[in-house]
Amino acid sequence: MGILSLLFGQKTKVDLSELIANGAQIIDVRSPAEFKGGHLKKSVNIPLDKLSTSIKKISKEKPVITCCASGMRSSSAKSILQKAGFDVHNGGPWTNLKKFQ
């Protein structure tokens, strides 16, 4: 890692396809109606507004990838889960993850 990366906090990009291939949990934080309209096969729908009270449904044994419609809610979900001690990555829009399944 270069000095600029250290100074500016740039991190190595995570390979989401590798995480998914190795069994990462995909948490879709959109509303149930949005989820019903289309989602990833292996994803679990936990709406962002229910995430804090549903954390026990998520295993800390495997990495977590959050996704939503645009990447905004999944970013918020990542912060919530990180604070709770999860190894979590923001997958952005769920449609970006389709190619990995």
Q: What is the pLDDT of residues 38-62, one digit of tens each?
A: 999 999 999 999 999 999 999 999 9
Asked if the model's pLDDT at residue 10 lies above 90, the reply is no
What is the CA angle 49-34-45, rounded to 5? 55
CATH 3.40.250.10 is held by the domain 13-100:
yes
Q: Which residues on neighbouring strands pair with residue 7, listed in sequence order?
A: none
Q: Which pTM does this prediction carry?
A: 0.86
Asked if the model's pLDDT at residue 32 lies above 80, the reply is yes
Task: Band the pLDDT of 12: cuts 50, 70, 90.
Answer: low
Mean pLDDT for 64-84 is 97
| Mean confidence (pLDDT) of the chain | 90
Radius of gyration over every alpha carbon of the chain, rounded to an integer in angstroms = 14
